[in-house]
């Protein structure tokens, strides 16, 4: 049977987020909504596709913007989906995939917890 693909499709709204060890203020969260649908994503002005490696633990996610300011980059991330909640941690520098859900000071790591909305 293999490992089940995480169900990531939907609209996701952040409940908390931090970047490089700095917790983002509540008012900044409204700009961080994420849409995932059939291997595509929309995040702010970035749009493109996603590739999930369901065999990795935690699941690995590559975010590949095709439109927007990050076009042409690959953003390596990890995700953990549980019911209507998702944690994501990505390296905005594109250097390496995070190994844990942490965004230490001095890094370009983005860590967020999202809730799925209907």
Asked if residue 72 belongs to a domain, the reply is yes
Read off the tokens for 12.
Answer: 């996701």
Q: What is the pTM of this model?
A: 0.90
Which pLDDT value is given to residue 118? 79
Asked if residue 2 belongs to a domain, the reply is no
pLDDT in tens, the chain (118 residues): 344 556 899 999 999 999 999 999 999 998 999 999 999 999 988 999 999 998 999 999 999 999 998 898 999 999 999 989 999 999 999 999 999 999 999 999 999 999 999 7
Residue 21 has, within 13 A of its CA and on its CB side, a CA count of: 4
Asked if residue 68 belongs to a domain, the reply is yes
Expressed as residue numbers, the domain containing 72 is: 10-117
Which pLDDT value is given to residue 5? 53
Distances in whole angstroms, Cα of residue 34 to Cα of each of 46, 75, 95, 99, 104: 10, 15, 22, 22, 23
For residue 53, the domain's CATH number is 2.40.128
Which pLDDT value is given to residue 3? 45
Could you tell me if 99 and 89 are in contact, meaning their C-beta atoms sit under 8 angstroms apart? no
Asked if residue 19 belongs to a domain, the reply is yes
Which pLDDT value is given to residue 2? 43
Q: What's the structural domain count of the chain?
A: 1
d(CA 47, CA 51): 14
Asked if residue 45 belongs to a domain, the reply is yes
d(CA 42, CA 37): 9
Asked if residue 3 belongs to a domain, the reply is no
d(CA 103, CA 92): 11
Closest CA to 80 of 47, 54, 108: 54
Asked if residue 5 belongs to a domain, the reply is no
């Amino acid at each position: 049977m293999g490992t089940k693909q995480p169900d990531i499709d939907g609209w996701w709204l952040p409940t908390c987020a931090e970047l490089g060890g700095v917790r983002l203020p509540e008012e900044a969260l409204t700009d961080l909504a994420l849409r995932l649908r059939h291997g595509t994503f929309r995040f702010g002005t970035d749009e493109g596709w996603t590739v999930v490696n369901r065999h990795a633990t935690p699941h690995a996610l590559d975010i590949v913007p095709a439109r927007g300011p990050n076009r042409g980059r690959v953003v390596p991330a990890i995700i953990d989906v549980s019911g209507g909640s998702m944690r994501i941690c990505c390296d905005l520098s594109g250097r390496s995939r995070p190994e844990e859900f942490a965004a230490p000071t001095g890094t370009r790591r983005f860590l967020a917890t999202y809730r799925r909305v209907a």
